[in-house]
């Protein structure tokens, strides 16, 4: 579709020879993400400044080639895959923390800063950047902002969107603009900042990000509660929050997950029980013991069969062990999985889990559910072997039914992974034809040549699991 003869000499002039990658081996490293989808770019450039990014995008407008911005490539939905070839712009060299302002509790970063590194850095100032996607040891802030990353702490602290105050961004035309403010308040013109957060690299390439920070919590307490019935676990979640305690973590493991982890670790997990809740509270030390005690009482009153509060850091590690073992444990069930991060109002979690159990039975699939019970974001893992075309076909049918159920329950098809390629066939299911049209009009207005990250979000006929 696009011209494959990219202006490599111009790239070299802009970014320097050493930052222009053209060999198949090098390009291969920028061809995939965590979705395991793949497409080889024609060239990869690693610019060192915002002006270089802008110049590259201007070239794309001149010569009509596609541009794919890329952070760490840890996305789950193929949003950074260079579909159809073109230029990958890797933001990895724009990796400086430019400013940490303790008095105003803000920071200015470049997009290539690794989220976990940033969290450690601001903690040295007694500050706290809450968003905690599981990928945080390697994913970048630019990628987190592009996808509006979430994480377990969202129940208390919100998601990436809630911490982005402003951006410096290269628009699809190559114009470099600044959006937003350095302050909590700011109502000057349209909120381009929040439009760009979660736009998945289709509306702009961030070159600077202004982030809001919080004071670091003084301490944390951890508790595990086992529930014979999952409805009781869900009820406990609501009761905790109604009692004005908002835990920083409220993770749920369903029975299938407990079974998988027990098979893997043999740690004596209660595999006859329907749910395990891993709960953490953070904040002011003075409240924590009281809060965790109240949570224990609430869980007991909601028919938890067992509860344990971590008394020491090593106890805490042990309580987290089952949660952390999920990923490798699932690898033992089947070689592949489809991981849908559906989200429902938290009171609907039992209905969602019941529906998923029915789907597992109906389609003869192993489906494992765990995730963030506090905000209703349940990671639904359909375990499969992609080489088994029959199993794959049943899984696809189950996903379709799952999505219908989630929308019926007032939920959303993606809490934190986004649309990218894998969920693009379903975008209209949730936003409707007219919502889709409004989104596409915005895309087309800002990117009339469809330069930036094409083949995503608005493309609806892709064979989405088959990568």
Nearest approach in angstroms of CB 94 to a second copy is: 20
Whole-angstrom distance, CA of residue 420 vs CA of residue 425: 10
Answer yes or no whether residue 106 interacts with a second copy by CB under 8 A: yes
C-beta of 351 vs 442, nearer to a second copy: 442
Contact 322, 371 (CB under 8 A): no
Q: Which stretch binds a second copy (CB under 8 A): 28-36, 57-65, 194-202, 356-364?
A: 194-202
- CB 4, min distance to a second copy, A: 30
Q: Which residues contact 120 (CB under 8 A, 6 or more apart)?
A: none
Of 269-328, which residues contact a second copy (CB under 8 A)?
284, 286-287, 290
**Residue 170 touching a second copy (CB under 8 A):** no
Interface pick for a second copy out of 161, 229, 357, 386 (rule CB under 8 A):
161
Cβ closest to a second copy, residue 243 vs residue 358: 243
Q: Of 143-151, 222-230, 359-367, 387-395, which segment contacts a second copy by CB under 8 A? A: 143-151
Return the number of other C-beta atoms located less than 10 Å from residue 428's C-beta: 16
Using CB under 8 A, which of the segments 27-35, 59-67, 83-91, 342-350 binds a second copy? 342-350
Stretch 213-272 residues interacting with a second copy (CB under 8 A): 215-216, 218, 238, 241-244, 246
Q: Under the criterion CB under 8 A, does residue 154 sit at the interface with a second copy?
A: yes
Structure token pair of residue 270:
């209660």
Question: Tokens 């506090």, residue?
Answer: 374
Residues of span 352-381 touching a second copy by CB under 8 A: 372, 375-377
In the range 11-70, which residues lie near a second copy by CB under 8 A?
Answer: none
Query: Residue 449, interface with a second copy (CB under 8 A)?
Result: no
Q: Is 134 in the site for a second copy (CB under 8 A)?
A: no
Q: Does 446 bind a second copy (CB under 8 A)?
A: yes
Minimum distance from CB of 136 to a second copy (Å)? 16
Piece in contact with a second copy (CB under 8 A), picked from 3-11, 173-181, 223-231, 318-326: 173-181
Q: How far is the CB of 211 from a second copy (least distance, A)?
A: 14
The footprint of a second copy on residues 399-428 (CB under 8 A) is 410-419, 423, 427
Interface residue with a second copy, options 316, 323, 346, 456 (CB under 8 A):
346
Q: Which range touches a second copy (CB under 8 A), out of 3-11, 38-46, 323-331, 443-451?
A: 443-451
Q: Which residue of 431, 450, 459, 467 would you call a contact of a second copy, by CB under 8 A?
A: 431
Smallest distance from a second copy to CB 257, Å: 20
- Which of 279, 325, 314, 18 has its CA nearest to residue 156? 279
Judged by CB under 8 A, how many residues of this single chain contact a second copy? 90
Q: Smallest distance from the beta carbon of 434 to a second copy, in angstroms?
A: 4
Query: Nearest distance from residue 274's CB to a second copy, in Å?
Result: 19
């Amino acid at each position: 579709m696009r011209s494959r003869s990219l202006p490599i000499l111009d790239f070299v002039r802009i970014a320097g020879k050493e930052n222009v990658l053209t060999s198949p081996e090098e390009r291969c490293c920028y061809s995939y993400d965590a979705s395991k989808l793949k497409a080889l770019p024609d060239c990869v450039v690693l610019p060192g400044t915002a002006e270089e990014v802008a110049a590259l995008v201007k070239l794309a407008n001149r010569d009509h080639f596609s541009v794919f911005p890329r952070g760490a490539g840890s996305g789950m939905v193929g949003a950074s895959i260079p579909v159809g070839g073109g230029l990958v712009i890797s933001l990895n060299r724009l990796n400086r923390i430019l400013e940490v302002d303790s008095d105003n509790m803000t920071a200015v970063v470049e997009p290539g800063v690794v989220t976990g590194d940033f969290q450690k850095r601001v903690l040295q100032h007694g500050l706290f950047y809450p968003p905690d996607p599981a990928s945080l040891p390697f994913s970048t802030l630019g990628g987190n902002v592009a996808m509006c990353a979430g994480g377990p702490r969202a129940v208390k602290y919100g998601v990436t969107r809630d911490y982005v105050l402003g951006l410096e961004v290269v628009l699809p035309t190559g114009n470099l603009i600044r959006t937003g403010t350095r302050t909590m308040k700011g109502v000057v013109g349209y909120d381009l900042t929040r439009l760009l957060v979660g736009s998945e690299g289709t509306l702009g390439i961030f070159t600077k990000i202004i982030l809001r920070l919080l004071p670091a919590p003084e301490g944390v307490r951890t508790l595990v509660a086992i529930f014979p019935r999952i409805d009781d676990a869900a009820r406990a979640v609501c009761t905790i929050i109604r009692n004005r305690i908002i835990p920083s973590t409220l993770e749920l493991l369903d029975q299938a997950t407990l079974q998988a982890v027990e098979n893997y670790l043999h740690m004596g997990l209660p595999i006859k029980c329907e749910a395990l809740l891993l709960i953490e509270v953070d904040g002011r030390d003075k409240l924590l013991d009281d809060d965790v005690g109240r949570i224990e009482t609430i869980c007991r009153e909601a028919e938890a069969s067992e509860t344990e509060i971590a008394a020491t850091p090593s106890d805490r590690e042990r309580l987290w062990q089952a949660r952390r073992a999920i990923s490798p444990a699932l690898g033992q069930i089947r070689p592949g999985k489809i991981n849908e991060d559906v989200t429902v109002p938290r009171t609907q979690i039992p209905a969602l889990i019941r529906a998923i159990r029915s789907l597992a039975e109906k389609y003869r699939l192993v489906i494992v559910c765990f995730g963030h019970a506090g905000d209703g974001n349940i990671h639904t893992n359909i375990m499969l072997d992609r080489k088994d075309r029959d199993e794959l076909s049943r899984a696809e049918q189950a996903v379709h039914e799952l999505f219908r159920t989630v929308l019926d329950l007032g939920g959303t098809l993606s809490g934190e992974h986004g649309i990218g390629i894998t969920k693009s066939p379903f975008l209209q299911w949730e936003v409707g034809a007219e919502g889709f049209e409004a989104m596409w009009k915005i895309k087309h207005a800002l990117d009339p040549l469809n330069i930036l990250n094409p083949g995503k979000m608005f493309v609806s006929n892709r064979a989405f699991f088959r990568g």
